[in-house]
């Protein structure tokens, strides 16, 4: 054969057949892109902290950090003692302890929700009006401090902040809408909606309630000339009806569709959901079988949609004598590690004493798997051999793991770059491949 000669191969299908099939599937292609855009690629906080609307103050974030540091100093003052309490491997003890302390000093809370629902309770309307307006002012001030530079905002603000309003059920609907309106209007008057704004809609049972929330946000955006879709919200899953509808279908999937691209997260409500199913108070926990079932449904419904799943919380508080604190820490650490292994990368923390074990669990999770993940991803990037044959989907998971570790502070950019030979942009490229890329085998 002459140079450049291309050998002909035999085919049987006419070009028109392929074209007709492509044309017939074009609507499906568009639907896939609409319904399953993939993860947004933005930072996901490792936890959410709820603070009642009447308790939230300018110093709340710093106060939580200081209380967490004080608990650490009192009950696990050095790396060895923390490792002994939590069962950390020797090689993790110093890095985890040092990073926990640094995190509590620099950024003790990643996501804060000013609560106007269960944590707030019924109040006179005038009082809740003032609290909602005050929350808007304080969050606007926090945003301004964070924008001014790390020397102003370090340890005093959270990257994500917002409110949990009352639900849209009839008894509290008008009050919830009014609080939302006052809060958002206050932010606009203070300079506009900040980055990192998060809203939580609780006790959702029907997709129509989600659609109503969309309508409210559309009207607010129109009233203020905002870009359509600017405001998103989380859906809190706290009832059995939110998981399984009366006709046997998965309600949560309908809710995601009803949000029309505005849903940012599904948050599991441990205690309301457990009570809804009749679980006794002593057994209400995030690792109960009813919790695992609900979160598995949420996870499958949200997969590929860009909506993230958040685990619940423990109500066992690390307070009292050291032995009691250690017992609560071990429980919280175990539940957090369990959630991370199940790909629930966010949870709730209910007390400042939960922060040391939240970050210890998160940092240990990413640091103990760092070397293997970095080596596998580097080998994949070089297409070199090894004892594991990875595919694009695995490279996506490996890069996502490293990015989450970087975002929370478990890993440093320098050590990741040295171990992988990749930049953050490279990692982001592997973490968000084109849809078809994931169907191509790496073998």
Collapsed DSSP state (helix, strand, coil) of residue 113: strand
Ranges of the chain with pLDDT below 50: 1, 435, 438-443
Give me the CATH number covering residue 243: 3.20.20.360
The DSSP symbol for 439 reads G
Query: Going by DSSP bridges, is the β-strand pair 111-115/47-52 parallel, antiparallel, or unpaired?
Result: parallel
Cβ neighbours of residue 331 under 8 Å, at least 6 residues apart?
314, 316
Digit-coded pLDDT (tens) for 51-107: 999 999 999 999 999 999 999 999 999 999 999 999 999 999 999 999 999 999 999
Q: Of 329, 66, 53, 30, which Cα lies nearest the Cα of 179?
A: 53
Instruction: Answer yes or no: is 285 within a domain.
Output: yes
Pair 349, 304 in one domain: yes
Domain that holds residue 195: 47-368
* Number of domains observed in the structure of the chain: 2
Q: pLDDT at position 442, please?
A: 35
Q: Which residues pair with 160 in a beta bridge?
A: 111
Instruction: Answer yes or no: is 261 within a domain.
Output: yes
Q: pLDDT at position 432, please?
A: 84
Domain termination site, one of 368, 394, 426 = 368
Strands laid side by side in the 308-310 sheet: 308-310, 263-268, 233-237, 197-201, 160-164, 111-115, 47-52, 347-349
Supply the mean pLDDT for the chain: 93
Pair 103, 220 in one domain: yes
Check: CB of residue 154 under 8 Å from CB of residue 79.
no
Q: pLDDT at position 390, please?
A: 63
């Amino acid at each position: 054969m002459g140079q450049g000669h291309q050998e002909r191969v035999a085919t049987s299908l006419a070009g028109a057949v392929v074209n007709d099939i492509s044309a017939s599937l074009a609507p499906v292609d568009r639907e896939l892109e609409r319904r399953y855009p993939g993860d947004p690629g933005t930072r996901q906080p490792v936890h959410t902290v709820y603070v009642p609307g009447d308790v939230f103050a300018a110093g709340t974030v710093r106060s939580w950090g200081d209380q967490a540091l004080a608990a650490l100093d009192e009950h696990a003052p050095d790396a060895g003692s923390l490792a002994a309490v939590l069962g950390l491997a020797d090689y993790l003890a110093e890095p985890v302890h040092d990073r926990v302390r640094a995190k509590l000093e620099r950024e003790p809370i990643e996501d804060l929700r000013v609560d106007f629902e269960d944590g707030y309770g019924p109040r006179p309307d005038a009082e809740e009006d003032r609290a909602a307006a005050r929350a808007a002012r304080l969050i606007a001030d926090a945003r301004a401090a964070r924008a001014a530079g790390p020397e102003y905002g370090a340890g005093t603000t959270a990257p994500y902040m917002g409110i949990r309003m009352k639900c849209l059920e009839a008894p509290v609907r008008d009050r919830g809408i009014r609080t939302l309106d006052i809060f958002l209007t206050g932010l606009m008057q203070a300079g506009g909606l900040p980055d990192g704004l998060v809203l939580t809609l609780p006790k959702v049972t029907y997709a129509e309630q989600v659609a109503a929330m969309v309508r409210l946000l559309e009207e607010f955006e129109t009233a203020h000339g905002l870009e359509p879709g600017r405001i998103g919200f989380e859906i809190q899953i706290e009832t059995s009806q939110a998981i399984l509808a009366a006709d046997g279908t998965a309600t949560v999937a309908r809710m995601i569709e009803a949000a029309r691209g505005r849903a940012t997260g599904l948050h599991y409500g441990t205690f309301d959901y457990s009570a809804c199913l009749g679980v006794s108070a002593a057994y209400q926990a995030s690792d109960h079988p009813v919790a695992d079932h609900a979160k598995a449904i949420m996870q499958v419904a949200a997969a590929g949609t860009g909506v993230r799943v958040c685990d619940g919380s423990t109500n066992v508080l690390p307070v009292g004598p050291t032995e009691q604190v250690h017992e609560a820490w071990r429980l919280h650490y175990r539940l957090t590690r369990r959630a991370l292994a199940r790909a629930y990368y966010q949870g709730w923390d209910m007390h400042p004493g939960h922060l040391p074990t939240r970050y210890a669990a998160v940092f240990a999770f990413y640091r103990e798997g760092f070397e293997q993940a970095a080596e596998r991803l580097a080998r994949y990037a070089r297409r070199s051999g090894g004892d594991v044959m990875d595919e694009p989907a695995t490279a996506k998971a490996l890069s996502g793991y490293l990015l989450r570790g970087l975002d929370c502070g478990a890993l440093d950019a320098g050590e990741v770059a040295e171990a992988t030979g990749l930049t953050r942009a490279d990692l982001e490229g592997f973490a968000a491949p084109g849809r078809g890329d994931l169907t191509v085998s790496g073998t």
